[in-house]
A and B are shown apart, each in its own frame.
Chain A
Amino acid sequence: MFVAMNDDELDRIFRALADPTRRKIIDRLREQPDQSLFQICAMSVAEGGKALSRQAITQHLDMLQNAGLLHVSWSGRTKIHSLDLKPLREAADIWFRKHLLEGENP
């Protein structure tokens, strides 16, 4: 049965997206799934982006996870992150698409 997202869930998703670092993490995990915290930090160094502490990255990952956008699994004893885009698709379906497809205006 399809249960529509409530406002709290939509808030968590949109809030998770409302930050350039978190959007960057999503972009990176899209290109290269299954990354540890260390790898996500290393990728951020590799791209020459803004230097962020591990603690800061951990907080960003927590927000993405609370929004349901991260899938966390284990490789041996190491925690591995990848994207779960289902909640994003659902949020797009019930909010963006409503306005973009049904709107009469250009």
Chain B
Amino acid sequence: MRIYVTSVFVDDQSKALDFYTRILGFKVKNDVPLGEYRWLTVVSPEAPEGTELLLEPGEHPAVQPYKTALVEDGIPATSFQVDDVDAEYDRLLSLGVSFTVEPMDAGPVRMVVFDDTCGNLIQLIEMKGG
């Protein structure tokens, strides 16, 4: 068994596509029309055959309360790994990304949290001494 896809619920798939590709730097892997929505996945250019991230439409009535409650407590919906958190922080800051947690050490990781503009907080972590 392997994890081939994981998802974030996004308010708007087109807006999410722009943020996750142009700002974060992911590449589109699948973009298949499915009625009103799309099966829209992105991958890291560092691992094009790796786990896909599904930009999943958040139209189910349970999604908005779930997202709202996570954001209220500042909890990220998902987490990505980078080699250098501080460098990514500077890069994303210059692209206008808004952070809710500035670079900080938390046990074995260094991390930040930012707003993906699609209703989610996203964590970036760097494994220290890794």
Contacts and interface: CB of A to CB of B under 8 A. Distances in A.
Interface residues of B, number: 18
Given A38-B76, A38-B113, A77 B71 contact: yes
A50 to B, nearest CB: 13
B49 to A, nearest CB: 32
A78 B77 CA distance: 14
A46 B107 CA distance: 5
B105 A38 contact: no
Interface of A, secondary structure class, is helix
A36 interface: yes
B101 A78 contact: no
A42 B73 contact: no
A79 interface: yes
Interface of A: 36-39, 42-43, 45-46, 48, 54, 58, 75-79
Given A37-B75, A46-B104, 17 more contacts: A38-B76, A39-B74, A39-B101, A45-B106, A46-B105, A46-B107, A54-B73, A58-B73, A75-B100, A76-B98, A76-B115, A77-B71, A77-B72, A78-B72, A78-B121, A79-B72, A79-B74
